[in-house]
Amino acid sequence: MIAWRWGNGFVTRVRVASPLPELRTMAGARARLVLIVEDDKTTGDLLASAINDQRGYSALTVRSADEALDALGRVDPDLLVVDIRMPGMSGLELYDRVRADPRFRSLPVVFETGTGREHAQDLRDRGIATYIKKPFDLDELVRFVKRLVPPRNGTKLAP
């Protein structure tokens, strides 16, 4: 994240760590963390809001595959939601890099795309059978999230 700092009559631009979401429930158990990789700010914010509205879930949004790789060095998500088509490294390239890391080999991933047919063979080659096509119903996304990473059992969650 870039912030502007005022001091000594000068305005300077400084890089600061992105704030991480609150991941604890009232009982102290960690909420399910969903890392959203979406280059479109409006879509990313909408997805994060839908997930953050669910008890026991917290979403962190990054805008590029490179930011996602950086975030994976700092947080341990339970699920990735990845846009396939992004500038620079694509969501599929990110997927390949994440799968190459032993820590994340079994990390569930939900892909979102505007066109499924264009990437159908790439998805099949990687053993990926499902994705969410834009525009999609937010309730559908939430169902995917809850099916792939159910809320932790026996945890009393903050309202």
Mean pLDDT for 55-76 is 96
What is the rounded radius of gyration, in angstroms, for the C-alpha atoms of the chain?
17
How confident is the model over 40-60, as pLDDT tens digits? 999 999 999 999 999 999 999
Between 56 and 13, the higher pLDDT residue: 56
Burial class (CB in 10 A: 0-12, 13-18, 19+), 85: middle
Q: How confident is the model at residue 36 (pLDDT cuts 50, 70, 90)?
A: very high
Between 91 and 27, the higher pLDDT residue: 91
Q: Can you tell me the distance from the alpha carbon of 82 to that of 80, in angstroms, rounded to the nearest whole number?
A: 6
Q: Can you tell me the distance from the alpha carbon of 48 to that of 61, in angstroms, rounded to the nearest whole number?
A: 7
How confident is the model over 96-137, as pLDDT tens digits? 999 999 999 999 999 988 776 777 788 888 888 678 888 888
Q: Can you tell me the distance from the alpha carbon of 125 to that of 146, in angstroms, rounded to the nearest whole number?
A: 26
